[in-house]
Amino acid sequence: MKVINRLMINICSDNLQNSKNFYTKLFNFRVDYDSDWFIHLVSKDGQLELGIIDRVNQIVPEEYQNLPTGFYTTFVVDNADEVVEIPTDTIYGQRRLLLKDPNGSLVDVSSPIPNFVF
């Protein structure tokens, strides 16, 4: 098996600044790089990365420049109640809220329910 050294999700965006504001405010990412075509966000501990790229940039293959569909990104946090308003409890032991980012991507913010027994 190959060793994975890094995993970064890149979100295609029609408005980089709106997307940057959404993710930095929601998850307290710091901006590592900011340009007119790409923004690189990093968690405070440097372990997590999120890229935001201009949807129609030449490095994004044309067939992937559409609105997102068929996937969503989950951010697991210590306490979802501190990050978002009104999360709900799931049957599988998570406290969860689904949001739509400025690009139409589905964002799942969840945290484990303490002492949950399945």
For domain 1-57, give the CATH number. 3.30.720.120
70-118 CATH: 3.10.180.10
Q: Do domains 1-57 and 70-118 have the same CATH topology?
A: no
Res 1 pLDDT > 80: no
Domain boundaries of the chain, sorted by first residue: 1-57, 70-118
Is residue 118 predicted with pLDDT exceeding 80?
Answer: no
Q: What number of H helices and E strands is found in the chain?
A: 2, 8
Q: pLDDT, tens digit, for every residue of 32-50?
A: 999 999 999 999 999 999 9
Q: Which of 22, 18, 45 is nearest to 32 (CA)?
A: 45
105-to-23, 31, 45, 90, 98 alpha-carbon distances in Å: 12, 20, 25, 21, 10
